[in-house]
């Protein structure tokens, strides 16, 4: 029998993602983003995102089907992100997924967005090797997970206590007068800057912090430190060396992320690290992660960038893995859970 054809719907934040996979084979990955509508607010506005999903979903589904050259009636299953994420945004995807599943009389898989990010890595690639540590960093999350078995046993080792890593990039970009989204802007601004010129704080990253807080992250202190540094410069009437500030800030974020991820690998005796989320676009993060992982004997897997940012293919891919593992579909009695645990 051919592997199951699955359509996945992702609407937890500002990306309306529709993906179609056959088993681990990626057939289409359509993404409509409402990012531009949020730009002037400097961050995602939940109500705006939800309304944008409602408008984008139907065209995105049509486009994904066309790209995959399949019809709705060919589908074997529907998958949808049921959380975590913005409640109103999630509800749009969940409602659409239930409607499709009922109309087509096909099984429906409600899945966790974070586990979806991990599953992105199996598309058009080898199956995941277990166990693996996963670091997911985006505008919405900063999570470190221990994946003992993708479809059955994923443990949250730590997450951000305040800002997500991408959010920190966005806020610091704003402080430096750079546009939203700030990650790529800081990355560019940091080129040519001296990452050692200014040492910004690395939150919760002493060994004792890691033991006490498990592997939680904190970036708001770092953001405040940058704001204060810039204010003091301006108050003294001195120019702000944007390249050095950007490089110093980026180095602090990257240092914390990589230090914790590799510490988790060592502590759990796991020689594998998987990276995901939009912040993985950061060149310095990839560079430092690969360098330090190699030195620690840890192999690193990074999905292609279009599968790192929020998308529907990863959701469909996870459902494909659940089906392959013989897991039963969800009943229709589930809602959108903005704080859904892994
Ligand atoms: O996964 P993603 O596309 O979507 C959501 O979080 O919804 O991640 C977007 C986040 C934004 O905060 C953006 O500033 C950050 O990822 N980002 C980066 C880079 N490119 C995007 N952060 C650091 N360096 C980058 N090159
Ligand atoms: Zn995400």
Distance CA 170, CA 139 (A): 8
Q: State the DSSP string of 67-118.
A: HHT--GGG-SEEEEEEESS-HHHHHHHHHHHHHHHHHHT--EEEEEHHHHHH
Q: What percent of the chain has pLDDT over 70?
A: 100
At residue 230, the pLDDT reads: 98
Token duo for residue 272: 């594998």
pLDDT in tens, 18-65: 999 999 999 999 999 999 999 888 788 999 999 999 999 999 999 999
pLDDT in tens, 211-248: 776 799 999 999 999 999 999 999 999 999 999 999 99
Statement: residue 147 has pLDDT above 80: yes
Strand 108-112 versus strand 153-159 pairing type? unpaired
CB-based pocket (< 6 A), ligand 1: 13-14, 138-140, 166-167, 169-170, 181-184, 187, 277-279, 281-282, 309-310
Distance CA 142, CA 140 (A): 7
Q: What is the pTM of this model?
A: 0.95
At residue 41, the pLDDT reads: 86
At residue 150, the pLDDT reads: 97
Distance CA 323, CA 289 (A): 33
pLDDT in tens, 257-289: 999 999 999 999 999 999 999 999 999 999 999
Q: Give the torsion sign (CA, 176, 202, 287, 133).
A: negative
At residue 314, the pLDDT reads: 98
Under 8 Å between Cβ of 300 and 290:
yes
CATH number of 132-302: 3.30.420.40
Which parts of 240-312 fold into alpha helices (H)?
Answer: 242-267, 283-295, 305-308
- In degrees and rounded to multiples of 5, residue 34 shows phi and psi of -100, 15
At residue 42, the pLDDT reads: 78
Ligand nearest to the CA of 166: 1
> Reading across the β-sheet that carries 272-276, which strands appear in turn?
153-159, 142-149, 132-137, 272-276, 299-301
As a whole number, mean pLDDT of residues 124-151 equals 96
Mutate to test the pocket of ligand 1, among 49, 142, 166 (most ligand atoms within 8 A of CB): 166
Query: Ligand 1, closest atom to CA 164?
Result: 12
Report the nearest-CA residue for atom 2 of ligand 1: 278
- Environment of ion ligand 2 (residues, CB < 5 A): 138, 310
Token duo for residue 251: 């180095």
Q: What is the mean pLDDT of the chain?
A: 96
Closest CA to 167 of 43, 55, 261: 43
Mutate to test the pocket of ligand 1, among 37, 46, 279 (most ligand atoms within 8 A of CB): 279
Token duo for residue 26: 């990626």
Band (pLDDT 50/70/90 cuts) for residue 169 is: very high
For residue 214, what are the contacts with CB-CB under 8 A and spacing of at least 6? 157, 158
For residue 249, what are the contacts with CB-CB under 8 A and spacing of at least 6? 172, 186, 190, 200, 222, 226
Annotated binding residue 310: yes
Query: Ligand 1, closest atom to CA 165?
Result: 12
CATH superfamily of 5-122+308-324: ATPase, nucleotide binding domain (3.30.420.40)
The domain ranges of the chain are: 5-122+308-324, 132-302
Closest CA to 9 of 242, 303, 310, 287: 310
Report the nearest-CA residue for atom 26 of ligand 1: 282
As a whole number, mean pLDDT of residues 138-161 equals 96
pLDDT in tens, 85-132: 999 999 999 999 999 999 999 999 999 999 999 999 999 999 999 999
How far is residue 34 CA from its own chain's centroid? 16
Report the nearest-CA residue for atom 8 of ligand 1: 278
- Three-state secondary structure call for residue 134: strand
Token duo for residue 233: 């410069």
Report the nearest-CA residue for atom 6 of ligand 1: 139
- In degrees and rounded to multiples of 5, residue 200 shows phi and psi of -95, 155
Give, in order, the Cα–Cα distances in Å from 95 to each of 211, 266, 304.
Answer: 41, 42, 29
């Amino acid at each position: 029998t051919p592997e199951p054809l699955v359509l996945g719907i992702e609407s937890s934040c500002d990306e309306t993602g529709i993906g179609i996979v056959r088993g681990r084979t990626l057939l289409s990955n359509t993404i409509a983003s409402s990012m531009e509508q949020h730009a002037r607010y400097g961050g995602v506005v939940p109500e705006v995102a939800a309304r944008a999903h409602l408008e984008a979903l139907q065209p995105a589904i049509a486009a994904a089907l066309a790209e995959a050259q399949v019809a709705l009636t060919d589908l074997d299953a529907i998958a949808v992100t049921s959380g975590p994420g913005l409640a109103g945004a999630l509800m749009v995807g969940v409602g659409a997924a239930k409607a499709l599943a009922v109309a087509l009389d096909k099984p429906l898989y409600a899945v966790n967005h974070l586990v979806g990010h991990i599953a992105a890595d199996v598309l058009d690639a080898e199956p995941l090797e277990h166990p693996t540590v996963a670091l997911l960093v985006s505008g919405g999350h900063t999570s470190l997970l221990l994946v003992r078995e993708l479809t059955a046993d994923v443990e949250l080792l730590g997450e951000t206590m305040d800002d997500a890593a991408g959010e920190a990039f966005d806020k610091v970009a704003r402080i430096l007068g750079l546009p939203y989204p700030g990650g790529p802007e800081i990355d560019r601004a940091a080129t040519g800057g001296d990452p050692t010129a200014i040492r910004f704080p690395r939150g919760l990253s002493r060994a004792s912090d890691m033991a006490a807080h498990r592997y939680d992250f904190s970036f708001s202190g770092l953001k405040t430190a940058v704001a204060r540094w810039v204010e003091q410069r301006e108050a003294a009437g001195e120019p702000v060396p944007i390249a050095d500030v950007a490089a110093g800030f980026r180095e602090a974020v990257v240092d914390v992320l990589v230090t914790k991820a590799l510490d988790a690998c060592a502590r759990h005796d796991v020689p594998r690290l998987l990276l995901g989320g939009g912040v993985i676009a950061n060149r310095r993060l990839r560079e430092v992660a690969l360098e330090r992982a190699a030195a620690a004997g840890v192999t690193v897997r990074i999905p292609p960038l279009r599968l790192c940012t929020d998308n529907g293919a990863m959701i469909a891919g996870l459902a494909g893995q659940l089906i392959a593992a013989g897991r039963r579909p969800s009943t229709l009695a589930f809602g959108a859970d903005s704080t859904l645990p892994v």
